[in-house]
Amino acid sequence: MAATAALLKACILFTVCQITWASLLQEQDSDSYIIHMDVSKMPTVFSGHEDWYHSLLASDSFKEAAATDASMATLKPVYVYANAINGFSAILSSPQLELLKNQPGFVSAYPDMEVTRDTTHTFEFLNLSPVSGIWPASKFGEDVIIGMIDTGVWPESKSYADEGMPEVPKRWKGQCDSGIGFSSSMCNKKLIGARYFNKGLKAKDPNLTISMNSPRDVEGHGTHTSSTAAGSHVEGASYFGYAAGTARGMAPRARLAIYKALWEEGSYASDVIAAIDQAISDGVDVVSISMGYDQVPLHQDPVAIAAFSAMEKGIFVSSSAGNEGPTLSTLHNGTPWVLTVGASTIDRKFGAVITLGNGITLFGASMYPGLDSSLTRVPLLYSEATKACNSSELLKNVGHKVVLCEFSKYTTEQMSTLASSDVAGSLFIVNSSSDQSDVIRDFPGAILSLEDSKAIFSYIGKSNNPVVSIRFGGTATGTKPAPSIADYTSRGPSPSTPMVLKPDLVAPGSLVLASWTMNSSTVTVGQKSLFTDFNIISGTSMACPHASGVAALLKSVHPDWSPAAIRSAMVTTASILDNTNDPIQDGGQPASPLAMGAGQIDPNKAMDPGLVYDAGRDDYVKLICSLNYTKRQIQTITRSPSEVDDCADIDLDLNYPSFIAFFTGKQPPKVKTFKRVVTNVGDGGATYRAELKQMKGFLVTVSPETLVFQKKNDKASFVLTIERTSPTEADVVSGSLSWIESQGNHVVRSPVVATKIDAKPLSCPQPTVFSGHEDWYHSLLATDSFKAAAASDATIATLKPVYVYTNAINGFSAILSSSQLELLKNLPGFVSAYPDMEVTRDTTHTFEFLNLSPVSGIWPASKFGEDVIIGMVDTGVWPESKSYADEGMPEVPKRWKGQCESGIGFSASMCNRKLIGARYFNKGLKAKDPYLTISMNSPRDVEGHGTHTSSTAAGSYVEGASYFGYAAGTARGMAPRARLAIYKALWEEGRYASDIIAAIDQAISDGVDVVSISMGYDQIPLHQDPVAIAAFSAMEKGIFVSSSAGNEGPTLSTLHNGTPWVLTVGASTIDRKFGAVITLGNGVTLFGASMYPGLDSSLTRVPLLYSEATKACNSSELLKNVGHKVVLCEFSKYTTEQMSTLASSDVAGSLFIVNSSSDQSDVIRDFPGAILSLEDSKAIFSYIAKSSNPVVTIRFGGTVTGTKPAPSIAHYTSRGPSPSTPMVLKPDVVAPGSLVLASWTMNSSVVTVGQKSLFTDFNIISGTSMACPHASGVAALLKSVHPDWSPAAIRSAMVTTASILDNTNDPLQDGRQPASPLAMGAGQIDPNKAMDPGLVYDAGRDDYVKLICSLNYTKRQIQTITRSPSDVDDCADIDMDLNYPSFIAFFAGKQPPKVKTFKRVVTNVGDVGATYTKQR
């Protein structure tokens, strides 16, 4: 009965198809058809297929059948197909079609159809910013006060703009000190305090003249760190065009208080302590200290001592670890009560694109700012005589050449020698894994790795006249792996307290862009000094303010948390994985906690850590008391009378969120035990279970293994034990303890270290007659005995304190002779004294973190897709686009058989070594309407779609690409060295299947390797699907076909191109948003989605209007008298009516409220408006309700990167199951399809603002059309790496390595729910992993034929697809269970099956034998 039902269902479906066709034939007497023929039935009298088809249509019977239509009396084929299908297309009457059906060799025919194109307007994918989730929760750190101890501030920087900020908090007690070049009026509601401290410096040299005796920064360091921590939004920031975009601090709404204690003339501890002392008194919430003291015990460390007092008052202190890495035990600021921050590298590199004469392209590290200069095909010189590049004599006669040099730590000698010799430029070879991109700034040179140099040496060895082209100003994002540990960052253990694991974590410290001083040049090129208001530098100094800003955000969200709780939250939520989901690397090896602490800081997760390891003053005193310090040394730190901190209780085992055990000495211990107490900071009760990562040679256990909390703030204790079980060669081994919440909402991870390193810690009553401390100290120094002790030194005969400290420490600083110091030591109340010390500042020159590009690892392996040919079936090409530049590309492969066709506005000479072919196909379109005039009858694109998709797949590097300033940067395709062949088959006038098949047919004949098809046909069976049929032929010839899934989501079963032998690509969203920064009159700042290109306009404190009468924004009558105001509107799918009404009413702008989770940033392009979520609108309504005169400021052109979670599934992407073959799971994967920037046509405007039409050579649009060419480019890369792989093997590699996690390490989301494979397939494409999948699920022609034969198709329908004679594909073997890398089982019907079984065969494509185990 079940079988009968299945047959009946098939018959009904078939009948429906026949009825549909019949109705089409009845509606018009003739139509354009695609006819499939069995070429084995061709009579031998014909010379070929085309002769046969022409003969059929020229017969008398065909002429008679067309007698009613004179235009068809001399019929001939529109197209003849020989590759994609066997057959032709033609205009046929109904009688002619019936005649044809009875001819020998006829297989099938169906009407030509208009194609559906997969495009909506959206923008490209750019990646991670670690503060997106916590910003709204913390109100961007609003009113938290960060005290920066540094070199001062450049107050004119836009990073200190206070636009929209509320009044200064009343609790603030600080002030703004005037001085040279600085007045108190320079402070504002952002920069709320500025003081300077140099008495200690002056005391060292009373005759010293300080050049800038004020809070003004003339070195840049303090401006850089403070703007990193809490700078305001600054649009258009860059370092001479590098890193162009919007700069902002980690806590952009926090307040800044500047304490200048570091000077060009010298930096001393006394000034640093004075600065921290004052900061405590002023009322800061966070202190940021990018400096430190090396190899000193706690009781002699000014930062540690001052920070203890700050901790007591609830002030969080963040400090830098130092730049003495990679040597162990070099870390400073390893103080238990501060956060110690190491530096991580980032995944953006600056440099030059280097193209050798043989076409090979390399990327060399450089920050040379000569962006307007270029070196094109300059002779390249390498010789033993000149390679040292340090001899003017040897270089003076070289002339205008690029010299290959051996890098020697970039000595001034090398650079000055090269500059004076008039050589054109230089390429340096360096054998180092560390980033060198900040080294070359003042000379046209670049640094290549030793690995990359092999290509140069190989080329020079084979060429008689080697040449090179160098383009500076390149920005490469998404390098992998990232982050990694910066080689310079100092390592633990902490010399002062090795029993506390340090550093705590790492934060971005390399290549950070932030504000800079404008008083002196940052680089000199030739004789020209260059100035910039932003600079790119590196160091743990740059990492520290990132953490300080995060602390401010956490302080805002959790004002009741202690400094230890905030630190714990950061530590236990830090990430140990890089952007390849592998462990963070340190010099090519997994990083040790002694280098990275708990890992890379994760602000969003830190906001909700689940559990915290808290600690307070008493806990730290117990630890200090265990360090064998004297009572006076302890008092130096704690500042308490000796009887208060009497050390009755000592404990080295601080309640810290990490563990380090030392197994050293002649008889090392066998066991180390740690006790900890954790506090539940979740909203309710919770249960956690322990998960341990073991260490080689040790057994780690925890008791109990489960912690149960009944409510928030409950505490629980546990014991962790590390037992040495066997000898280990490694000096340091590490593991981890993770407490995992039962619901999976929290993972509280702590690093665990066992080491053989021998590390040991570096080893006052006031008389009542005085009115205060200062009086007492002055009296001490004014005694006759002190004067007598100074008799030999007149400069200190009338001694007085340099500073008096009452907050950070109890005491003072002073210039003392040795005799005076000895006198002081014997006085009542003396605790300790140590010499003032010059501080070490943590800075080297490097650049900022920008994130993921998914092709970095595979590019060098594939030579960037070199010589793979991608055929793009689309709307044509705009050949003038820089994306098709062929600079440095070798000659066209000899196997290429295609050509470049001329036509209107397009000549054959427009093709080159990148754009190697361009053809156009519109005979089917013309056949539909013989009188049709095609406006651009050539391969030229006038719609933009084809230019966008082809440049996405394989566009060359284009610097300075943007959409009116949005998404500014370097554009490039996924396979930038691949060749492009354009097949224009989609037209403004119409799009028909006959032209599509002709295009694919020609592409197969021409010799493409990959076909990219961003179009499809909805709800048709395989044997009627032109793409499916043509792709079958391509598959047979080893050509990979990538296709778009369609834009009919989120409804299920809407997907097209669900063909088993093609890759079906859905679209994912990306983590960048464009819009406007909206600041209300009360200082609240929001971000509204917009792509309005009026970047040179702004709306400043414009009246804000909301009323029931105007909220619909669709009545000119109601809006005409509003005037210059910003109107609050209810969003109604952005109707033309709303926009035209607003534009005609002369309102200043609009804010739209929309209740939708989908991104709307591409909606408003032609009017100064922005779209806010319903959630954000609450802040506006609250403000309007409380204000009698509400105002708003709107700045357009904002770019926010790193939004989370991303990627997610684009709501528009069509879903499976596949209507044509539901037994094969589709889509296969998703790829970036939303908000993609790529090349565009310049023939027509993309947006009209007012009466002005705007044009752009790059556009931001979205759709599965944009996702497909990403996958096509990846296929080209894989084809280059694995030329012997079948299309199925390439597809399998992409599918089985796809990622199911977003950038929060949670499952990809689809409308706030975990995405189903029917929406995302196997997940987000991962090009690097696809290069080495381990196993593949392969399939070939015979496998697909078995599946086709199982679909109840007729023999002719099967022949339509396979093109083989009926006796070849006789369906003797049928099998619906294709050897596919995914599985879908249907349990439907009245009596659904209980079991579904699948058989698979996998092929090992690894280099050697391997064993695999299943994982569920």
Q: What's the CA gap between 500 and 1357, in Å, rounded?
A: 74
Q: What's the CA gap between 658 and 571, in Å, rounded?
A: 8
Tokens of 888: 């440095």
From the list 954, 1034, 986, 1046, the residue with the least C-alpha distance to 1269 is: 954
CA angle 644, 645, 648 (to 5 degrees): 110
**Which are the contacts of 128, defined by CB distance < 8 A and separation ≥ 6?**
579, 851, 852, 1071, 1201, 1202, 1303
Which region holds residue 1073: left if phi is over 0, alpha if psi is between -120 and 50, else beta? beta
Q: Read off the amino acid at residue 794.
A: A
Which region holds residue 1316: left if phi is over 0, alpha if psi is between -120 and 50, else beta? beta
Tokens of 1397: 């079984």
Q: Which of 232, 538, 541, 568 is catalytic?
A: 541
Q: What's the CA gap between 925 and 243, in Å, rounded?
A: 47
Asked if 272 contacts 839 with a C-beta cutoff of 8 angstroms, the reply is yes
49 is catalytic: no
Tally Cβ neighbours within 10 Å of residue 7.
Answer: 11
Per DSSP, 298 falls in state: G
Tally Cβ neighbours within 10 Å of residue 19.
Answer: 10
Q: Which of 36, 49, 221, 1023 is catalytic?
A: 221
Place of tokens 């908000």: 1235
The CA-based dihedral angle spanning residues 713, 719, 720, 723, taken in that order and rounded to the nearest 10 degrees: 180
Strands 286-289 and 145-150: parallel
DSSP reduced 3-state for 996: helix
Q: What's the CA gap between 284 and 146, in Å, rounded?
A: 6
Would you list the DSSP string of 328-384?
A: TT------TTSEEEEEE--SEEEEEEEEETTS-EEEEE-----TT-EEEEEEEE--T
DSSP E strands in 1174-1326: the ranges are 1191-1201, 1229-1232, 1236-1239, 1247-1249, 1252-1254, 1258-1261, 1309-1310, 1313-1314
Strands 732-741 and 1072-1080: unpaired
Q: What's the CA gap between 308 and 292, in Å, rounded?
A: 15
The residue count of the chain comes to 1416
Asked if 1047 contacts 1041 with a C-beta cutoff of 8 angstroms, the reply is no
**Cα 841 off chain centre by:** 30
731 is catalytic: no
Tally Cβ neighbours within 10 Å of residue 1410.
Answer: 10
Instruction: Give the containing element (helix H, strand E) for 471.
Output: strand 467-477
Would you list the DSSP string of 842-868?
A: --B-------B-TTTTHHHHHGGGTT-
CA angle 1123, 1125, 1131 (to 5 degrees): 110
Please tell me whether the peptide bond between 1269 and the residue prior to it is cis, using omega within 30 degrees of 0: no
Place of tokens 């044809």: 100
541 is catalytic: yes
Q: What's the CA gap between 922 and 816, in Å, rounded?
A: 94
Q: What's the CA gap between 397 and 423, in Å, rounded?
A: 9
Instruction: Dihedral sign for Cα 1134, 1135, 1138, 1144, please.
Output: positive
Q: Which of 31, 38, 112, 150 is catalytic?
A: 150
C-alpha distances in Å from residue 302, one per residue of 333, 538, 835, 1321: 10, 24, 11, 58
Residue positions annotated with a catalytic role? 150, 221, 541
